[in-house]
Amino acid sequence: MKTIFLIVLLCASLLGQPGRAEAPWQQHGKLEVSSNGHAIQHADGTALLWIGDTAWGMFQQLTREEIDQYLDHRQRLGFTVIQSVAFWYPHGGGMRSGPHNAANAYGHRPFSGGEDSPNTAEPLVVEGGSPDAPNDYWDHADYVIRAIKQRNMYLALLPCWGRAYVTPQFGGAHQEFTESEAKSYGEFLGKRYQREPHIVWVLGGDAKAQYQGYGSDGYAEYDKRAVFRAMAEGIAHGVTGQRLSWNRAHPAWKQVFMTYHPDGDFLDNSSKWFHEDAWLSANGVEVWSEVEQVYPTMLRDYELQRPIKPSLFLEGSYEFGSYRRECGWVTPLKTRRQIYHTFFAGGAGHTYGAGPIWAMRGNGGDYNCGYTWQQSLDFPGAAQFAGVAKKFLLEHGWPQWIPEGRMVAGAGQGESLKAAVTAASGQLALVYFSNNSHAKITNTLGKAAVARWFDPRDGAEQPAGRFEPNEARGMFPPERWEDAVLILRAE
């Protein structure tokens, strides 16, 4: 009897430890597109709330101990997705960019070949190592993937930084992947990680898949769509064992959830090049410094038909980034505007980033502003997203939100846009006030509703009166609030 008691006590202790709870993929099954096409859900219908953080340089820059420090912090805050790159091109942090076959923190290079001339068809794998005692680059990659899994988070995994290795967009870049090499590398990754249920595959890497000569970016026209499509086919073959074609529907494509991370031109997102491709499960968006473009860009993807696909906000303006302005130009308020505009435009998920964290190296340059990545972990926007906004989204049933254009008169525009949604149930309406200014709000629920104000900074709430059916009324957020959400709940 005493032995049984000790076993029960031990099991209870283990279950109570962080990271010991049953993982979402164990509880709810693999990821898929929801029945309405706009959200990501598990096999049992439970929605995935994509609360992402940007850690581009993690695989290459950090030691095992630093990886644990970073992931423990992000897990505690409430992030559900970590976004990183298996084969990253080192840049940022005020340090020199490159080389193309850069070693990781343990001195291991990802591919055979020279320091700046990787043979991407030959990942450099040495027998005898392990994630805890790596003797090659991919042992350490295994550690990253295992560490994220142990914390019950998803990994949005980019096979490579396409801007430097596929497209000619990066200064000093030279193409490292032909179609054949991309397919071979994709197959290597897919086969190596085929049993990892927490991986979402993200092709691209700040990459414009096709350039048609508009603008003045300084490079000639090109079309690299075939390279990324070959990589998708390679990943799928590695995971499923089947030869799939990028332009042919097949049930096996559902075993590999994929999206695409574009570059910062908000007019050129994955939907421009790949929307109808069989491999693309969800579209990906980046707006870089154009905070004012988040809502219209996400809404354009939401409104796409044939087929309807979820859209993920994968990169925007990093908190405390400067973007050739003063350090700290991207304030917590600008960070929150990106978050709420994403979901109020029907987005399936949002990835946050901090200027000094994404590169995970150095403390200089436009993005770091004198901070190390460790010092930046507690920037306000991270907690306001992974804590306050996450709780709000969960409590207010975000997968059933429908963008609503009739509720707000005097909505403003750009970064100051006031955006509204209604719930599919018809019992809830929400208006995001991106600043403290007046707007006329109409109760479109068709029934009386009780109103409350919600503060995105800390989750505080206060009463806002009552609306009769179809009543229109001028509304101001509470005094000294920077932004607010007006909640109308049907009686």
pLDDT tens-place string over residues 164-215: 999 999 877 678 999 999 999 999 999 999 999 999 999 999 999 999 875 5
Q: Which pLDDT belongs to residue 163? A: 96
Given a cut of 90, whether residue 15 has pLDDT beyond it is no
Over pLDDT 70: what percentage of the chain? Answer: 94
Confidence of residue 29 (pLDDT cuts 50, 70, 90): very high
Q: pTM for this one?
A: 0.94
pLDDT grade for 219, boundaries at 50, 70 and 90: confident
| pLDDT value, residue 5 | 30
* Mean pLDDT confidence for 398-406: 96
Neighbours of 10 (CB within 10 A): 10
Whole-number mean pLDDT of the chain?
A: 93
- Looking at per-residue pLDDT, the higher value among 16 and 84 belongs to 84
What local confidence, expressed as pLDDT, does residue 363 receive?
83
Average pLDDT over residues 468-475: 97
Farthest-apart Cα atoms in the chain, separation? 78
Q: Please, what CATH class does the domain formed by 404-490 belong to?
A: mainly beta
Ranges for all domains in the chain classified under CATH 2.60.40: 404-490
Q: Report whether pLDDT(465) > 80.
A: yes
CATH 3.40.50.300 applies to domain 22-400: no
The CATH 3.20.20.80 portion of the chain extends over 22-400
Residues 450-457 have a mean pLDDT of 98
Give the residue among 57, 190, 184, 62 at the shortest CA–CA distance from 118. Answer: 184
